[in-house]
Amino acid sequence: MLFLAPMRKPRKATAEYLEKAAIHYLARHAASTAGLRRLLARKVARSASEHGTDPLEGAKAIEALLAKFTRQGFLDDRAFAALKTTALHRRGMAGRRIRQTLAAKGVDAETADEALAGLALEHADPEEAAAFALARRRKLGPFRPAPDRAARRDKDMAALARAGFSWDIVRKVIEADPPG
């Protein structure tokens, strides 16, 4: 039988507590403005239900804190989008999936497009570079050992297509010569 420990009682969401929580979070994670807003709003909601604090006061404190952190440079959605885009591209994520991930993190479409345009400066074809990175990481197509390559061709193509790459890029990656 599984016994769960009781949840810790949430702290009262004062402006000072929210600031300390935000600093602690930002010290460990890169975050968008919307992402930090969601995190702090959850703390305010838990505090309101547990301690009866005013959620409107908490919302005002959150907005003031976000404005302060943006002025000080702790929160920068453009830098966050560029960092996240580069990391996801390096892992082999297609541009469309990167856009979706950034949108889920609260980055607006214009900022996401700017970050993706930054990839075009680094690579002649960012989509192709990402597809090759994914193929290398998952040992698909030319990165698969020779005896299995022909037998697994269709499955490798399907894996790249599911990852969001166009059919032309999928074919180019799968039909590429093995490295080395």
pLDDT at residue 10 in the model: 87
Per-residue pLDDT at 19: 98
pTM over 0.75: yes
pLDDT confidence of residue 2: 64
pLDDT of residue 172: 97
The answer to whether the CB of 149 falls within 8 A of the CB of 175 is no
Helices marked H in the chain — which ranges?
Answer: 15-28, 33-51, 55-72, 77-90, 95-104, 109-122, 126-138, 146-149, 153-162, 167-174
Contacts of 161 (CB under 8 A, 6+ apart): 167, 170
- How do the domains of the chain map onto residue ranges? 15-72, 77-122, 126-174
What per-residue confidence (pLDDT) applies to 6? 73
Low-confidence residues of the chain, pLDDT below 50? none
Residue 42 pLDDT: 96
Task: Give the pLDDT score at 9.
Answer: 86
Query: With contact defined as beta carbons under 8 Å apart, do 106 and 62 qualify?
Result: no
pLDDT at 58: 96
* pLDDT of res. 109: 98
Q: pLDDT digit string (tens) for 83-106? A: 999 999 999 999 999 999 999 999
What are the angstrom distances between the C-alpha of 153 and each of 107, 114, 144, 150, 169? 36, 35, 10, 5, 14
